[in-house]
Amino acid sequence: MKNPTLATLLCLPLPLLASERDEALKLPDVLISASRQVESRTATSAANTVFTRTDIDRLQPSSVMDLLSRVPGVQVAPTGGRGSLPGLFIRGTKTAQTLVLVDGVRIANATSGDSGLQFLNVDQIERVEVLRGSRSAVYGSDAIGGVIQVFTRRSVGDGLHPRVRLAAGSRKTFQRSLGVSGADGSTRFNLGASLDETAGIDSTGPSFGSDADHDAYRNKSLNFSLSQTLGERVEVGMNLLHSQGRSQYDNPFGGFDPVTYESVGQQPYTDFSIASLGSYLDAQPNDNWHTRLEVAHSENRDDKRDTLSSERFVFNTYRDQMTWQNDLALNDQHSLLAGADWYQDRVHASTDFEKDSRWNRAVFLQHRYQGPLFSTEVGVRQDRNEQFGTHTTWSGSVTVALDDRNDVVLSYSEGFRAPTFNDLYYPQFSNPDLDPEHSRTHEVQWRSQLSSDTRLEASLYRTDLRDAIVFGQDAIPRNVASARVDGVELALAQQWGDWSSQLGLAMIDPRDRDSGHTLARRARRTLSLDLDRRVGPFGVGASVQAVSSSYDDEGNRSRLGGYGLLGLRGSWAATEALTVEAKLDNLFDRGYSRALYSYEGNPHAYREEGRTLLFSVTWTPAL
């Protein structure tokens, strides 16, 4: 079946939008995450970046975090090599202030707030959407900095379509994946599995002797999607993603011998598991009403152990959730989105928490007006949290069409985040009296189609945070901080014949308003450039990333140096079914760090991977 165009999709009757959702996921000019429905990227008020499966194949990213580092305004700060715990900062906000979804399902760990994105295998992913700026008026808690939604692999058309990929590279890296997708009339499915493993690197320099080994990483992933159309107005389906494995890491802080209580080194590792299972019912009761019911479950398991001791730290969280959304076309210019959310978190841990579950109920409403000269969007959401009561968040925007090629978007959005279970109840290092964090963001965007081959998107914004949760010298969290982030973002896409380029640039001033210090691990300037050329069966490309200096601590005493990286890639479509690819990351073997640790009272850098080479072969036979 031929893929529909954007114009075709957006003109389809509402019930067909559900059955064409798999095809929409392959289009670069549509967006789903902003309003939980298929729409044009230019119709939303949210600053956004989209990576389709075509983009992922072209860029050959080593991980989801590698892909996200290309987004203007997004910074990644891992604590070592593959599988290490990363910091994720969207527009200067912290990891727990970003909502992460997999096929619409929340996947963040309810104890730490970490989403486990570092454990998702890119071979299992169809599409990644990144919204920059608060979307709490649609999604509620956690969406202060933005929203990241990962969509798992989908069917590529009628008939059966198998795929096999094998890769090998530096540091004993081996990747294997296989899958099959298909469609037959009203039924569509995709099934895929992958195994990714590497010997890794020694993430720390001076530390305990037992940490002087390479930190290996192993990941097994599975995804499955199935959809069935029932007549012309109803569709049901489900999506499953499961990743599990082991990630070794260094603990330069050491441990204590249980007999002598003397400090000893460690050889720690984490057995991890992330899973999301979602099911949905799409229906159109009449020509103006489209309704969608989603029921989902997610799990985030974290089991930390040490080969040199019997200690074990288990933090498993489970989340059940349900969403009911209704899209109403009032007339040609006015539409209404109305819905309700419910989710419940449960914690099973080796550490005793005073409370180990909580629920959240919410209703949300969004009105849109689309006129010939301007359009508006106004949204409100009220969350009722078991622990923190009622919180209401608002958003509003006006989009003015200056001419056929230029739009200006003025927007205001509010956000909030409920503290995690660790913030509230972790023994000796928590505060049960914490309040939720709140934010307000004002933004101006300019979107311009400068020419048929040039697209420019620029944003100027200010985010004010209050009741921000910080940890003092006693490691106890408190609502004492207020912060302000001023920023400018620019995304430029250019096509020159066979050449294409994507440039992302961000400049931010992320400042603690109480102390005047720069927020930790936030670089003020970042640049990302991807340049690619396709000639017949051959493709070549290069990636440049430049990041300015930052500070590792809130007191701005430990400085992280800036760095620049260059990567090269190439591909050869040897036949219609066989593609050979190669990439060389960190071409000049640059030593750099994005986070520090303390050893014997002095700061030291977590190491990053040096020059890395990877070869791969992908086979997609026709059946």
Q: Write the DSSP assignment of 531-571 as a string of letters.
A: EEEEETTEEEEEEEEEE--EESSTTS-SEE--EEEEEEEEE
| 1 domain residue, yes or no | no
User: Could you give the C-alpha distances from 84 to 187, 199, 219, in angstroms and in order?
Assistant: 39, 13, 13
What pLDDT band is residue 400 in, cutting at 50, 70 and 90?
very high
pLDDT digits (tens, 9 = 90+) for 501-510: 999 999 999 9
Distance of alpha carbon 463 from alpha carbon 441, whole angstroms:
4
Best mean pLDDT range from 19-28, 229-238, 257-266, 464-473: 229-238
What pLDDT band is residue 9 in, cutting at 50, 70 and 90?
low
Quick one: pLDDT at residue 259? 45
Quick one: pLDDT at residue 5? 58
Whole-model pTM: value is 0.94
- Among the listed ranges 99-103, 257-261, 414-418, 558-562, which one has the minimum average pLDDT value? 257-261
Half-sphere exposure of 112 (CA within 13 A, CB side): 16
pLDDT at 138 exceeding the cut of 90: yes
CATH number of the domain where residue 379 is located: 2.40.170.20
| 344 domain residue, yes or no | yes
Identify whether the C-beta of residue 418 lies closer than 8 Å to the C-beta of residue 141: yes
Quick one: pLDDT at residue 209? 61
Burial class (CB in 10 A: 0-12, 13-18, 19+), 342: middle
pLDDT at 316 exceeding the cut of 50: yes
Structure tokens at 181: 């997708």
| 600 domain residue, yes or no | yes
pLDDT at 11 exceeding the cut of 80: no
Structural domain count of the chain: 1
Quick one: pLDDT at residue 15? 40
Question: What's the mean per-residue pLDDT of the chain?
Answer: 91
Domain that holds residue 366: 6-619
What pLDDT band is residue 7 in, cutting at 50, 70 and 90?
low
Percent of the chain residues past pLDDT 90, beyond the cut: 76
What pLDDT band is residue 266 in, cutting at 50, 70 and 90?
low
Quick one: pLDDT at residue 514? 86
Give the dihedral sign, CA 404/409/410/411. positive
pLDDT at 261 exceeding the cut of 70: no
Structure tokens at 618: 């992908």
Quick one: pLDDT at residue 268? 85
pLDDT at 249 exceeding the cut of 90: no
| 65 domain residue, yes or no | yes
Q: Position 17: which residue type?
A: L
| pLDDT (mean) for 187-203 | 94
Quick one: pLDDT at residue 253? 62
What pLDDT band is residue 85 in, cutting at 50, 70 and 90?
confident
| 404 domain residue, yes or no | yes
